[in-house]
Amino acid sequence: MAMTIEKAALYEKYRLPYAERAVADLLDYTRSMNLSIALCTYNGAVYLKEQLESIAAQTRTPDELVISDDHSTDDTLRLIEEFAATAGFPVRLSVNESNLGTAKNFEKAISLCRGDVIALSDQDDVWHSDKLESVERIFEAKPQLSLVFSNAELVDETLRLFDETLFDWVHFDGQKQRLVRSGRALDLQLRENLVCGCTVAFRANLKELVLPISGDGPLVHDGWIVLLIGEIDFINRPLLKYRQHSAQQCGVGKTSTWHDIMTSSKIDSACCVRQANQINEAFERLAAYGLSQDKERLLREKIVHLHERARLPVPKFQRWRSVEPKS
């Protein structure tokens, strides 16, 4: 098989072993499913080139890269156009006329994908060369699997590694992993969002279920998708470098929202009501597709809990009665 100059150059840059190069070439002939990447961009020129190059260097290249740009004003579009001109796979770019925000931008990117499996991508990460190959392998091995997520390396702006991985940071430990593997992912998801969108891939036949993405609540696109999709598994090793930097909207160090919710009774109540409404929206959508009694119970209990919490008169920390020392 003839290899393009661009692909050969990327192999050399990322120093892929000969065996991995052979696998990549073989997969061009033996693909059992089409893989789409839904990449969202917005003024991402600083880091975008590295991410695009890591996608091009995949041992299993995508069948299409769908990019939805949220009305960037920097060099993002130029970088995409230059990349598309030499990529060894279709690159389809859609530019929003106005800024939609992260959730709705991902909604648009997902809606435009044509593959059997859709892998979500941020603009500022760097994928390991076997990310798509690993995703394809687990979907082939588990026909009933709906969604998979993975661990990630945490890195700074210069790709310098942190001491902890993403799973370490979100405390996705052995006990929680066993719950997910036993089919109880919803139990965890209703308490905390352990799944980072940039690690997610899911079957495209679920687009009708997850779209449109609810934008009126604290759950962003990744939390919303995981809440709705049933059969979930994970790959317990890092498949990308998850870059942390000051300009990103979400990241492992972004704690201001949690702080606001826990210290302000006004925001706490409003956020609880919005989250309850968002989960109720998910409940109604799932009911139309068939909902197990166990999942119905969990969702109803969470909605009731959030409404009860919203009625509490003071912030959580102020509900504890202070105890004066005895004289």
pLDDT in tens, 154-180: 999 999 999 999 999 999 999 999 999
pTM for this structure?
A: 0.83
Contact criterion met (CB below 8 Å) for 23 and 133? yes
- Give residue 215's pLDDT band: very low, low, confident or very high (50, 70, 90): confident
Q: Which residues contact residue 165 at a Cβ distance below 8 angstroms, ignoring those fewer than 6 apart?
A: 151, 152, 153, 154, 238
Q: What are the structure tokens assigned to 104, written together?
A: 């709705």
Around Cβ 278, how many Cβ atoms within 10 Å? 21
> Which stretch of 76-90, 141-155, 265-279, 307-321 has the lowest confidence by average pLDDT?
307-321
Q: What are the structure tokens assigned to 265, written together?
A: 């009774």
What pLDDT sits at residue 249? 57
Q: Which residues make beta-bridge pairs with 201?
A: 119, 148
Task: State yes or no: pLDDT of 116 exceeds 60.
Answer: yes
Sign of CA pseudo-dihedral 117, 11, 77, 238:
positive
Task: State yes or no: pLDDT of 88 exceeds 90.
Answer: yes
Percent of the chain with pLDDT over 70: 80
What pLDDT sits at residue 267? 53
What 282-288 contacts at long range (C-beta under 8 Å, 24+ apart), as own/partner pairs, is 282/214, 282/224, 282/227, 282/228, 285/209, 285/228, 286/209, 286/228
What pLDDT sits at residue 268? 75
> Which stretch of 18-32, 221-235, 300-314 has the lowest confidence by average pLDDT?
18-32
Q: What are the structure tokens assigned to 89, written together?
A: 């796979």
Task: State yes or no: pLDDT of 327 exceeds 80.
Answer: no
Residue with the bigger pLDDT between 315 and 165: it is 165
Mean pLDDT of the chain: 86
Contact criterion met (CB below 8 Å) for 224 and 214? yes
> Which tens digit of pLDDT belongs to each residue from 237-285?
999 999 997 666 555 554 333 334 434 445 578 889 999 999 999 999 9
